Chains A and B, each alone.
Chain A
Amino acid sequence: MKGRYEDENLTWIPILIVGIFLLPFVLKGLTYSYKYYLFVLNMAGIYIILTVGLDLLSGYTGLISLGHAAFLAIGSYTSAILVDQVGIPFVFSLFISPLIVGLFGFIIGFPALRITGMYLGLTTMGFGFIVKRLIIAFREWTQGAGGLEVSFPIIFGYTFKSDWDNYFLISAFAILAVVVSRRIGKSKIGRAFMAIRDSEQAAEASGVNLAKYKMLAFFISGIFAGLAGVLFAHTSHFISTDHFDILLSIYFIIMVLVGGASSIYGAVLGTLFIVLLDYLFVPEMKGWIQEFLNIEGGDIQSLLFGLIMFLFIIFQPTGLYGMWLKMRIYWKLFPFNPKKKFI
């Protein structure tokens, strides 16, 4: 269905989806190390599920969260415990675990009713630390800091064992997450979220129930993070508290910002950009950079991330997606452009 206020062309979507499912076959034909690339894409897919949810919270509603790695952790551990220790089938855990994480999001939503901005960021960050401590403390179920082995995902008797299998599972859910989050973003709920972000007073005056929608934003975002957590736990097969570092939460925010806050496609682009940069390009360029600058590999990573954030916020506050939109408008109006500016 065509959006009311935009001239969106939807014909490319089925082509893209077919492309996504054909990609592994192309990769397999092109390179013998295709499994490594699939692994990186799988990770990007899981992170996309999380970042589109984070975008609804931070981009649409303007509530910053530095605790999303903790939501991912809760989703992972919940599903691992439900499936392996309680004995619930993986398929049910795909629904139950995200809901449980959504409830945690709901609880974290309470402080968000009173505080915003940096203070909310700090609160959610604190939540991340608490979750880590709790996981260690509940060692009866989580095996403490030693980490937990998780079973493979099984759907209707089929076990997803390799990166190849996981790719199809994860990309299916990633596509679903993008579609659902876009629908939410365009619905009444999404408009209420944006109204809250732009001005709380104006939103309230227009009849938006602030408390309800703020809690709802956290709840929905939690569900997405929970789903990502379930897939993360079962496809990576081993989880530990070291996986869900505070840095990961910060990376998630970077992904959303680089892609362009408050656009779902932006979150997808940003996530792909950061993950590919982190796992493919930086390792490739590392040796090359090290020839010029005498710094360690990991330090290059932090340096690049910082630099990208810095440049994007100054020059492209609308992110990668904004860049694309501007480019599109430029070509559409060519040669009658109001401003002679390409991107």
Chain B
Amino acid sequence: MKKYIGLSFLLTLLVMGCANRASAPGVSEDKILIGNVQDLSGPMKELGAVLPAGSNLYFKYINEQGGVHDRQIEMMVEDHQYNPQKAVAAAKKLIEKDQVFCLYQVIGTSPCEAIRPILAESGIPLVAPATQSGSMSDMSREAAELIFHTDTGYDKQTGILVDYILSQDSNAKIGLIYQDDDYGENVLKGAAAAEARTGISIQREAYQRGATDFAGQVANLMKGGATQVIIAGVVKEPIIVMKTAAAMGYAPQFFGTSPTMDHRVALAAGPAGEGFIASNFAYLWNSDVPTAVLYRELCEKYEVPEAYMGMYHFYGFATAQVLVEGLKRAGPYPTRNRLVNALETFNKWDEGAFPPITYSQNDHAGTESVVLVQVKEGKQTVITDWID
């Protein structure tokens, strides 16, 4: 009996040893394994289901055409409940246990920040983190050379909005409502930079994540005499803020950062939301650009539920294109290093979802411009060209 135990132990070690020697983890003869850490059951679980679904729609389309260099793309999704510690555990599990090739679309600023040390330790790239925090493309930070950001940062967006407001109305008094978390932190950074650049002062009002009452903030802005108000919220916040302001008889011009661009804002805010301007770093999913057309065709073909379709689902779809293009360029024998080098060859790459993306060794920001979208008669209309 003892003999067999020893033998099986040795065999186990041998098998493990072989698995360990695989040249590029996550890449096999006919498959590339991608790791994704989403919020499936925390405060952002609505997005947690929709984003990977959008990406999978594109992967399915590519896989049906034979995949990338004859390999099918497969994505594993883990849950972090918007808890950075859980995100670290999930990322470690994906890297060490499931042996994924690269990480992709990890949602949330603090979860992405928390996994930086793991990226640095294992040299694994993170493509298209699903956060618009400008800190993701700050090249002075740890593991920045492995992170490829696709979105225009919140700090940048705030600056662009302030500039736009001042170009329309040089006497503008700007107010800002922000979420006092990692998201708001980046917005504040942009606001401070804009103040230093233009010499104006911005009235700041904070709210807690999950708040549903904004009467205090709106009253303060009214007292402060703000004529333009930037709302750095998600979906629910701009709706409630604009309705509250309308009920108080206060009518400034409202602006919003990219998360407020959701079409549900225009739907739910009704007349109070008329004229609301939001910045956006991608084309609209219901516009006529080729990617959006392809997206709607695929949605129809694969019978995507209507509740999924929208800017977030399309965003997942669009970032999947970036990853697939990177994998294509990494060649038939991809390694993590080759993927990084391949992504750095993107030069004004334009698939028609984001503005042209350029990566280089010293710049992983991807896009840095936005379009402004205004609600006119209840419909979202693009009112500017790409501005930065």
Q: What residues on A are CB-neighbors of B40 within 8 Å? A: 296-298
Report the Cα distance A145→B111, complex, angstroms. Answer: 12
- B13: interface (CB < 8 Å): yes
A18 lies within 8 A of chain B by Cβ: no
Complex interface: stretch among B91-99, B252-260, B264-272, B299-307: B91-99
Interface 9-residue window, one of A57-65, A117-125, A232-240, A319-327: A232-240
What is the CB-to-nearest-CB distance from A233 to chain B, in angstroms, rounded to a whole number? 12
A295's closest neighbor in chain B, by CB? B41
**B188: A residues at CB distance < 8 A:** 144
Q: Are A297 and B88 touching (Cβ within 8 A)?
A: no
B89 near A240: Cβ-Cβ < 8 Å: no
A83-135 contacts to B, CB under 8 A, are none
Q: Contact flags (1/0) for B45-85 with A, using CB distance below 8 Å?
A: 10000000000000000000000000000000011011111
Question: Is A199's CB within 8 Å of the partner chain B?
Answer: no
Q: Which residues of B contact A35 (CB under 8 A)?
A: 92, 96
B residues in contact with A238, CB < 8 Å? 84, 113-114, 116-117
Does A43 make an interface contact (CB < 8 A)? yes
Other contacts beyond A30-B16, A33-B97, A144-B188: 6, CB < 8 A: A29-B13, A34-B96, A149-B116, A238-B113, A279-B89, A298-B41
Q: Which residues of A contact B42 (CB under 8 A)?
A: 298
B109 within 8 A of A: yes
A128 and B180 CA atoms in complex are apart in Å by 16
Chain A, Cβ-Cβ closest to B181: A145
Quick check: is B152 within 8 A (CB to CB) of the other chain? no
Residues from chain A with Cβ under 8 Å of B16 in the complex: 30-32
**Residues in B neighbouring A30, C-beta threshold 8 A:** 12-13, 16
Q: State whether the Cβ of A159 lies closer than 8 Å to any Cβ in chain B.
A: no
Determine if B110 and A301 form an interchain contact, defined as CB atoms under 8 angstroms apart.
Answer: no
Indicate the size class of the contact surface on chain A: 35 or more
In Å, the complex CA distance between A162 and B117 comes to 10
User: B residues within 8 A CB of A32?
Assistant: 16-17, 19-20, 96
- Bound-complex Cα distance A298 to B43 (A): 11
A237 cross-chain contacts in B, Cβ below 8 A: 116-117
Listed residue (B79, B133, B135, B184) with the most chain A CB atoms within 10 angstroms of its CB: B79
The interface residues of chain B lying within 8 Å CB-to-CB of A39 are 88-89, 92
A297–B41 touching, CB < 8 Å: yes
Could you tell me the distance in whole angstroms from the C-beta of A239 to the nearest C-beta in chain B? 8
Q: Which residue of B lies closest to A31 (CB)?
A: B16
Q: CB-CB contacts of A285-327 with B at 8 A, as 1s and 0s?
A: 0000000000011110110000000000000000000000000
State the CA gap A162–B82 with chains docked (Å).
24
Cα distance A147–B79 when bound, in Å?
A: 20
The interface bits of chain A over 134-147 (1 if a CB of B lies within 8 angstroms of the residue's CB, else 0) are 00100100011111
A139 surroundings in chain B (CB, below 8 A): 185
Closest-CB distance, B307 to chain A (whole angstroms) = 16
Task: Assess the A147–B110 pair: CB atoms within 8 A.
Answer: yes
Q: Tell me which residues across on chain B come within 8 A of A40, comparing CB atoms.
A: 89
In the complex, A72 Cα to B208 Cα: how many Å?
22
Indicate if the CB atoms of B85 and A43 lie closer than 8 Å: yes
Q: Assess the A298–B81 pair: CB atoms within 8 A.
A: yes
Interface of B toward A, CB cutoff 8 Å: 12-13, 16-17, 19-20, 40-42, 45, 78-79, 81-85, 88-89, 92-93, 96-97, 109-111, 113-114, 116-117, 121, 133, 135, 141-142, 180-182, 184-186, 188
Contact yes or no, B109 A146, CB < 8 A: yes
> Among B12, B20, B93, which residue has its beta carbon within 8 angstroms of that of A283?
B93
**A221: B residues at CB distance < 8 A:** none
Contact, CB under 8 Å: B92 / A36: yes
Q: Any chain B CB within 8 A of the CB of A245?
A: yes
Binary CB contact string for chain A from 36 to 66 against chain B (1 if under 8 A, 0 otherwise): 1001100100000000000000000000000
Q: Is the interface of B mostly helix, strand, loop or mixed?
A: helix
Interface string of A6-47 (1 = CB under 8 A from B): 000000000000000000000001111111100110010000
29 A-B contact pairs sorted by A residue (CB < 8 Å):
A29-B13, A30-B16, A31-B16, A32-B16, A32-B96, A33-B93, A36-B96, A36-B97, A40-B89, A143-B185, A144-B185, A146-B113, A146-B186, A147-B110, A147-B113, A147-B182, A149-B141, A149-B142, A237-B117, A238-B84, A240-B84, A243-B110, A245-B83, A283-B93, A296-B40, A296-B79, A297-B79, A298-B41, A299-B41
CB-CB nearest in chain B for A237: B117
* A263: Cβ under 8 A from any B Cβ: no
Within the complex, what minimum Cβ distance (angstroms) separates A151 from chain B?
A: 11
Complex CA distance for A36 and B13, rounded to whole angstroms: 18
Q: Are B180 and A145 in contact (CB under 8 A)?
A: yes
| B180 CB contacts on chain A under 8 angstroms | 136, 144-145
Task: Say whether A271 faces chain B, with CB atoms less than 8 Å apart.
Answer: no
Structural contact, A242 and B82, CB atoms closer than 8 A: yes
CB neighbours of A171 from chain B (8 A): none
Q: Bound state CA distance, A243 and B45, in angstroms?
A: 18
Question: Which residues from chain B contact A43 at a C-beta distance below 8 Å?
Answer: 85, 89
A241 within 8 A of B: yes
Assess whether B182 is in contact with A242, with CB atoms less than 8 Å apart.
Answer: yes
Contacts of A144 in B (CB 8 A): 180, 185, 188
| Bound Cα distance from A237 to B81, whole angstroms | 20
B185 touches A296 (CB 8 A): no
For the complex, give the distance between the alpha carbons of A180 and B93 in Å: 34
A40 to B81, CA, bound (A): 17
Instruction: Return chain B residues, CB-CB under 8 Å to A298.
Output: 40-42, 45, 79, 81
> How far is A149 from B89 in the complex, measured between Cα atoms in Å?
18
Residue among A34, A237, A301 with the most chain B CB within 10 A? A237
Complex CA gap A36/B88 in Å reads 10
Given the contacts A240-B84, A301-B41, A147 and B89 also touching, CB distance less than 8 Å: no
Chain B residues with Cβ under 8 A from A245's Cβ? 83
A139 to B82, CA, bound (A): 21
A265 to B30, CA, bound (A): 50
CB of A107 to closest CB in B, whole Å = 24
Question: How far does the Cβ of B77 sit from chain A's closest Cβ, in whole Å?
Answer: 9
Which residues in B have their C-beta under 8 angstroms from that of A297?
A: 40-41, 79
Give chain A residues whose Cβ lies under 8 Å from the Cβ of B142.
Answer: 149
Would you call A146 and B79 a contact (CB within 8 A)?
no
Given that A39-B92, A298-B40 are contacting pairs, would A147 and B83 also be in contact in the complex, using a CB cutoff of 8 Å?
Answer: no
Q: How far is the CA of A106 from the CA of B97 in the complex (A)?
A: 43
Minimum-distance CB pairs A-B, first 4: A298-B41, A146-B185, A36-B96, A33-B97
- Expressed in whole angstroms, the minimum distance between the Cβ of A255 and any Cβ of chain B is 15
- Bound together, the chains give a CA A283 to CA B41 distance in angstroms of 13
Are B85 and A241 interface neighbours, CB within 8 A?
A: no
Task: Considering the complex, give the chain B residue whose CB is closest to the CB of A136.
Answer: B180
Cβ contacts under 8 Å, B185 to chain A: 139, 143-146
